[in-house]
Amino acid sequence: MTIEELQDKANAIREDLIKMLVEAGSGHSAGPLGMADVFTALYFGGLVKYDPKNPKWEERDYVVLSNGHICPILYVAMAHAGFFPTKELMTLRKLGTRLQGHPHRTALPGLETTSGPLGSGTSQAAGMAYALRMDEKKNRVFVLQSDGEQDAGNTWEGVMFAGKYRLSNLTAIMDRNNIQIDGNTEDIMPLEPLKEKYEAFNWHVIEIDGHNIEQVIDAVNEADAIAEKPTLVLAHTIPGKGVEFMEKDFAWHGKPPMGPGEAMQALEDIHNLRTLGGKIVSEHE
């Protein structure tokens, strides 16, 4: 796909995301919308090796979602990639669904971990990367993190472990959207300087605009070329990106559009992006 096609795909994914959240009547909006471009780059930009017809393919790359509450964006990306029918997206959070409110590994082929408790994913991914290295395998491990979960001590245990063992087959992508459920990250528990903290733990760090798909692709390819260090891609994003009334508002961290008015406005905002050529203009450009 061209960059323009990838951007249109990201916005198509945003549309399905809004529809499934409205149908569910619950779920998280801000983080999934903000990470749509990153997930599009991973699954459709040639960055992750996968086979939707054979989810346990031994040569696949591993995608670990640490911040499990943004799983709606993972589900939509997986559906568009062919892991399951897109019509199943409308079962999100319903009784008996495979698409639970946090990912359940055994419920849906293609999920690598069960996630929920924030801070666990980085340690899980580091363990996977270490085991793959022990087995002399070339698979890569990607862990998607939130910035808010940097408050959790387990995150830093995994960061320290990965740095010690120089796990160059591990790439973390952090959604640096500056919000968490109770407010702005720097008000609740200041995180900066994040780049210098990871570098102190022997990580290679790349800062990017998380809405610039070309930058996402370049960063992940750079990470693949780094020897003897894990890489953090620090992706600056806008929570709720693409829906004007949600952007930068932490109140949308954990709720969907409610009622036909909000749903229609959200879909109209995203539709307008697609008719304008799909490009999202970011304040980080």
Q: Which amino acid is present at 49? A: K
Residues of the chain with pLDDT under 70: 276-285
pTM score, two decimals?
A: 0.94
Read off the tokens for 169.
């087959």
d(CA 69, CA 250): 14
The pLDDT value recorded for residue 52 is 97
Q: Which amino acid is present at 176? A: R
Give the rounded percent of residues in the chain with a pLDDT score beyond 90: 87
Residue 71 neighbours by CB distance under 10 Å: 27
How far, rounded to the nearest angstrom, does the alpha carbon of residue 19 sit from its chain's CA centroid? Answer: 19
Domains of the chain: 3-275 (3.40.50.970)
The pLDDT value recorded for residue 276 is 66
Strands, sheet with 204-209, edge to edge from the N-terminal-most edge strand: 62-65, 141-146, 170-176, 231-236, 204-209
The pLDDT value recorded for residue 252 is 84
The pLDDT value recorded for residue 284 is 41
Task: Give Cβ neighbours of residue 61 (< 8 Å, ≥ 6 apart).
Answer: 48, 49, 50, 139, 140, 141, 142
- In the block, tokens 């568009």 appear at 80
Read off the tokens for 48.
């992750």
